[in-house]
Amino acid sequence: MSKQTYKICCFFSRKFKLKVAEPPEEVKSLFDRYSENALMSVDHLHRFLIEVQGEEKVTKEDAQAIIDSFKDYKRPNIFHRKALALDTFFKYLTGNTNSALSPSLGVHHDMTAPLSQYFIYTGHNSYLTGNQLSSDCSDVPIMKALHRGVRVIELDIWPNSTKDNVDVLHGRTLTTPVELIKCLRTIKEHAFYASSHPVIITLEDHLTPDLQAKVAEMVTETFGDLLYTPGPEGLNKFPSPASLMKRFMISTKPPKEYLDAKIAKEKESESQKGKDSTDEETWGKEVPDLKHAVEDAGKDETDEGEDNLDEEDLDDGDHKTQQIAAPEYKRLIAIHAGKAKGGLSDWLSVNPNTVRRLSLSEQELEKAIITHGTEIIRFTQQNLLRVYPKGLRINSSNYNPLIAWMHGAQMVAFNMQGYGRSLWLMHGMFRANGGCGYLKKPDFLLTVGPKNEVFDPKVKLPVKKTLKVKVYLGEGWYSDFRHTHFDIYSPPDFYTRVGIAGVPADSIMKKTKTIEDDWTPTWGEGFEFPLSVPELALLRIEVHEYDMSEKDDFGGQTCLPVSELRTGIRAVPLHDRKGEKYNHVKLLMRFEFA
């Protein structure tokens, strides 16, 4: 039987002929409505852009520019310089200039409020090239993050092997170090490649005072007048992004607080001998051995694990004997980090005379919102909250950022070199506001109600608006993928997943039917998404290729901020797993709000 089957298979012919994408019926109908004698003139196109695409401010000159862009298009029609035919109209709709997000919108949020009123594009362990345990440390991922628009770069700083200089590495792991000065120079060189808004450098400090002084010298020499320092009185309110254009800020725990925390920790440890250790006392534990680390690395992003101590809470070395901190180092710290003494309520206490940054692990946050959700939002109205991945994410995966955002956390720290849906959400969120890396938080996260109440993401609110999405067709896989990538003997069987990531009441995913054996699938399916908090909603789009016997193949993804979606029929370019845009793969979709 198997031999017979094999013989039959040998006669299969590979059918990879490409069918050219054709305008869907709805597009043809619209063209007929906005054309005359099969030609869409400037006036016709101008009216289409206003009435269908919702571009109220578009001019006839803009419409003419679209038509002029096809002046070299090879067509027999002699009127092609004055109007669009159906084929050129369809090419315009699927072209790069007709994107779902406006390329000309730029930075349009109010950038004059304090930093605490913004979500900030934040990296975690920004120097790692791969996993958290054994990858190389390098300035290259720092450069890549800055080119993407990341505004917060995290560096773990340790004494080098001879204790006379400073390296960047993930401590107590097998990661190879990179010199701090190299990272600082790379930050300065590439900081404003994608955005002119300020870059914050968060330091995980494991240094002795003499090396802290050396860091102060490096930072001062590298950034000079571009470094923002608040002065000896500190800050009672954070400056605004607009006031810090092309400037740098340092954020870490001040040295004296490190010393006090270390001594207090040791005293507490001595008095608690024999008792169960707390999360903070587990800092001294060795990292998991390589065998178990590799096993953990395969876990899904949603896997639960043990709490991970905030690495800022303690530093390395015998600081008990170090009585003199480096004053020049302390003066450079613009954003003071650290937890107040006591429990969670103390950590979240608000001092009207000073501002600070608090760091919580993803699990600490998840536990805190159960009992202190209101306090967290109140804290983030004035202060900065940084959330970072749990320690067991050795494969550099990430967590659901919406949990932190909906509670006002500004610095949702992500492993930018990682993979997965969580990172796609991060990419999508910061496509807004011109990709500058700072997003003004919605007003409901910044205000207090008449009864002193604040926003509660768990409460189901009335629907504010409904997003209508129609998926017409897809194209470009034939150009960007090997022709045997999806199926060996036939074209792929694509389907699209469309949904919302946002507050719990709004989050949902839906799916089109599967189109078999087609490189240019046409679905023509519509979906509706009622949104109670559209300000925090992200539109998730994924394409997969159905596989009956194995896991479905990945065919592209993107994530778009609902707040900046352009209505009308739009081209939606798709990206690979790492977030890099494909050259040709895109969907044609329609967006409407009701």
Domain ranges for the chain, please list them: 25-93, 116-267+286-445, 459-593
Residue 585 has pLDDT above 70, yes or no: yes
Report the pLDDT averaged over residues 50-55: 97
Burial-class residue 19 by CB neighbours within 10 Å (0-12, 13-18, 19+): middle
Q: Are strands 199-205 and 152-159 parallel, antiparallel or unpaired?
A: parallel
pLDDT at 1: 40
Q: Could you confirm whether 124 is annotated as catalytic? A: yes
pLDDT at 325: 74
pLDDT at 11: 43
The gap between the terminal CA atoms of the chain, to the nearest Å, is 59
Q: Could you confirm whether 109 is annotated as catalytic? A: no
- Over the stretch 311-324, which tens digit does the pLDDT of each residue have? 444 333 444 444 46
Burial-class residue 289 by CB neighbours within 10 Å (0-12, 13-18, 19+): exposed
**Alpha-carbon separation of residue 470 from 19, 94, 100 (angstroms):** 22, 15, 13
The distance of Cα 523 from the centroid of its chain, to the nearest Å, equals 29
276 phi and psi, to 5 degrees?
-65, 140
Report the pLDDT averaged over residues 210-222: 97
Which residues, 6+ apart, have CB-to-CB distance to 156 below 8 Å?
125, 127, 168, 169, 170, 171, 204, 206, 311
CB atoms within 10 A of CB 317: 17
Q: Does domain 116-267+286-445 have CATH number 3.20.20.190?
A: yes
CATH of 459-593, one of 3.40.50.10320, 2.130.10.10, 2.60.40.150, 3.40.50.920: 2.60.40.150
- Over the stretch 82-98, which tens digit does the pLDDT of each residue have? 899 999 999 999 999 99
- Over the stretch 220-237, which tens digit does the pLDDT of each residue have? 999 999 999 987 777 999
Residue 6 has pLDDT above 60, yes or no: no
Classify domain 25-93 by CATH number: 1.10.238.10
Residue 296 has pLDDT above 50, yes or no: no
pLDDT at 2: 39
Cα–Cα distance for residue pair 232/80, rounded to 1 Å: 68
pLDDT at 398: 97
For residue 214, name the pLDDT band (cuts at 50, 70, 90).
very high
Cα–Cα distance for residue pair 337/343, rounded to 1 Å: 16
Residue 257 has pLDDT above 80, yes or no: no
Residue 484 has what DSSP assignment?
A: T
Residue 419 has pLDDT above 60, yes or no: yes
Catalogue the long-range contacts made by 367-370 (C-beta closer than 8 Å, 24 or more residues apart): 368/344, 369/403, 369/407
Residue 27 has pLDDT above 70, yes or no: yes
Share of the chain above pLDDT 70, in %: 84
Sign of CA dihedral 576, 580, 586, 590: positive
The distance of Cα 256 from the centroid of its chain, to the nearest Å, equals 34
Report the pLDDT averaged over residues 407-428: 96
Which listed residue (44, 170, 407, 544) is catalytic?
170
Cα–Cα distance for residue pair 537/428, rounded to 1 Å: 10
Structure tokens at 126: 């920004």
For residue 80, name the pLDDT band (cuts at 50, 70, 90).
low
Cα–Cα distance for residue pair 487/484, rounded to 1 Å: 5
pLDDT at 7: 38
Q: One fold for both 25-93 and 459-593? A: no
Which listed residue (80, 124, 197, 407) is catalytic?
124
For residue 73, name the pLDDT band (cuts at 50, 70, 90).
confident
Structure tokens at 312: 């800022």
Q: Indicate the range of 145-149, 267-271, 433-437 predicted with least confidence.
A: 267-271
271 phi and psi, to 5 degrees?
-80, -10
Report the pLDDT averaged over residues 337-346: 92
Nearest alpha-carbon partner for 517 in 498, 489, 541: 489
pLDDT at 305: 30
Residue 79 has what DSSP assignment?
A: T
Q: Indicate the range of 61-70, 144-153, 241-250, 290-299 predicted with least confidence.
A: 290-299
| Identity at 2, one-letter amino acid code | S
- Over the stretch 449-494, which tens digit does the pLDDT of each residue have? 998 899 999 899 999 999 999 999 999 999 999 999 999 889 999 9
10 or 545, which is more confident: 545
For residue 298, name the pLDDT band (cuts at 50, 70, 90).
very low
Report the pLDDT averaged over residues 374-395: 96
pLDDT at 14: 55
Residue 161 has pLDDT above 50, yes or no: yes
pLDDT at 586: 98
Cα–Cα distance for residue pair 517/515, rounded to 1 Å: 7
pLDDT at 507: 97
State the DSSP string of 261-305: HHHHHHHHHHHTTTSPPPTGGGGGSPPPPHHHHHHHHTS-TT---
506 phi and psi, to 5 degrees?
-100, -15
Instruction: Find out whether 471 and 481 touch, Cβ atoms under 8 Å.
Output: no
233 or 106, which is more confident: 106
pLDDT at 19: 77
Cα–Cα distance for residue pair 531/231, rounded to 1 Å: 45
How high does pLDDT run on average in the chain? 87
pLDDT at 234: 79
pLDDT at 15: 59
For residue 264, name the pLDDT band (cuts at 50, 70, 90).
low
For residue 81, name the pLDDT band (cuts at 50, 70, 90).
low
Instruction: Find out whether 140 and 181 touch, Cβ atoms under 8 Å.
Output: no
Q: Quick check: helix, strand or coil at residue 112? A: coil
Residue 78 has pLDDT above 50, yes or no: no
Share of the chain above pLDDT 90, in %: 78
Tally of CA atoms within 13 A in the half-sphere of 299 that contains its CB: 19
Instruction: Find out whether 536 and 402 touch, Cβ atoms under 8 Å.
Output: yes
Instruction: Find out whether 406 and 457 touch, Cβ atoms under 8 Å.
Output: yes
For residue 276, name the pLDDT band (cuts at 50, 70, 90).
very low
Instruction: Find out whether 119 and 441 touch, Cβ atoms under 8 Å.
Output: yes
152 or 21, which is more confident: 152
Q: Indicate the range of 77-81, 129-133, 416-420, 429-433 predicted with least confidence.
A: 77-81
pLDDT at 495: 98
- Over the stretch 535-584, which tens digit does the pLDDT of each residue have? 999 999 999 999 988 899 999 999 999 999 999 999 999 999 999 999 99
